[in-house]
Chains A and B, each alone.
Chain A
Amino acid sequence: MSLVSDLLAGDHRALARTITNIENRTAGYRELVSELHEHTGTADVIGVTGSPGAGKSTLVDKLTRQYRDDDLTVGVLAIDPSSPFTGGSVLGDRIRMGSTTGDMDVFVRSMSARGRLGGLSTATADAVKALDAFGKDKIIIETVGAGQNEIDIVKTADTVAVLVPPGTGDDIQMLKAGIFEIGDVFVVNKADLSGADRIVKELREMIRTREDYTPERNGTTGIDRSIDRTATEWEPQVVETVASAGEGVGELVSVLQEHADYLADSGKRTERARRRYAEEITTHLREDLHRLTAREIDAQGGLDDLAAAVTRRETDPYTIVDELLAPIEECVEQRAERERAENEP
């Protein structure tokens, strides 16, 4: 496939088109991603998340600038929500990524949810692969941190930075909703605003108390625990930045690097990748099976008819599912039997 070879050869347009095909699910995109896979695994993937207005785009811009100064190539996936009503969206993150425009070694791509629940994390993971195979050193995924969908997206990253701006009491609240657990680095952005010190303190406090509940620590003494922790576990760091002025960005870069080193040294990078791929396989399988069963449902006259039959008390949901899955079950059983027969001497 020429798109793959063009992409691997460093053609920007091929990369752009590949991501378009991934987004549109254009026929053949799966084969495309499959071919790219063996060329991936070299990039550091960083997720940046936080509430709207936290300063994600600005920080990503400054981060990118810093990486470029260090001669590293960067890919950015900026993910915005789309209107659930029209499907349309205005993707505005690009505006705030001004300090590297004109530099083709920074590849910025805006993506929207397009109303597909869950599907966006698959598209994001695939787009990351495209950027990785293209040879980007650092890939930054930027997304609003609200809800499961976004958390799934951010999980695609090796290192997750959660932005917490001071000034609104709700930010710590947001952290309680599942984002806190995935943060490797907490960035108190807009640290020049009043209340920043308090947020930093609260975050440190949360990090400390979180560790009290870490399962591995049960049953050991306090002193041993602290030694254990520093040796094997990453303690989430708190970094203060003023992204608009570029303050603290250098420190953030070194903390991100520390985390990347930690992942590599502790073997966690491979472990995380393995878990990620396991999830990917499960997701694909679920989606494909869903599609397969949807076809079977259509063949049986459609979901509406089946539901009508249930309403008339002619049958019930469990029976219908059993019937629908019977052919698949049969195949699985036949295969298992065949294998048993083959293995017997």
Chain B
Amino acid sequence: MDGMDRGWSELPPKAGVGYKPRHFEDILASPGPVAWVEIHAENYMVDGGPAIAGLKRLAARFPVSCHGVGLSIGSEGPLDAEHLDRLAHLVSWLDPASVSEHLAWSSHGGGYLADLLPLPYDEATLARVADHIDEVQERLGRRILLENPSNYLGFSASTMAEVEFLGAVAGRTGCGLLLDVNNVHVSAVNGTCAAEAYLDVFPLDLVGEIHLAGHEVEMDESGGRLLIDAHNNPVADPVWTLYASVLARSGPLPTLIEWDNDVPEWPMLASEAERADAMLAGCHG
């Protein structure tokens, strides 16, 4: 397949940020350590207008990661062919340095559920997810990265651990992985995995990109801490610690600061990128 010789992604092994149009002028004028940007693919699935024009200007300056949030790769039903066509159109004119999606489902029966919903890790799900990724990679003519989810619960039907499942998907499809360290921490505090053990066995050699994000702290039914993957805060200290432990083993990897809600002014976001950049500069792969 075309693009299979590109490595896991063509993003530079440096810090990037999730692009918000309100930061457009700032990011061009004073990018600081920001070496690449990530967009949500769906926001650019339109015919034209200022959003597309802005993205074109940005893409002329920075490598772009095209991160889908709505393909619903884990759907029990078939992939939405129209949506896949729209993604293929975007990827063909944007020619992003990386394309990624989530291990999740978000559509059902023609309706879009506006969230990344969980999957049982069993053979049937594995076969379906792998088929869908084959279809996506075939349609796009390139490899994608698949992101690990944040979990609030599990399925009694699961027969394998999440890392094992992700590794099996990558093995069957040739896709790479996007490691979201905040998601690992959120899932661990929420009790669905142990963070260090999860990362110990995570196939870092398949990782083309890392995500770091902030979360929200709530309480569960028994008064314990429950983390919500809200992307509305600075990256938390335990997530930086886990990130450092990953980098120590993986060497530098393209690392994204994701901040999607209560988005701060540019200097705050840039300072998060600076912290990641310093850690990337200090590690040796």
| A in complex with B | no
- Measuring CB to CB, which residues of chain A are less than 8 angstroms from any residue of chain B? none
- Measuring CB to CB, which residues of chain B are less than 8 angstroms from any residue of chain A? none
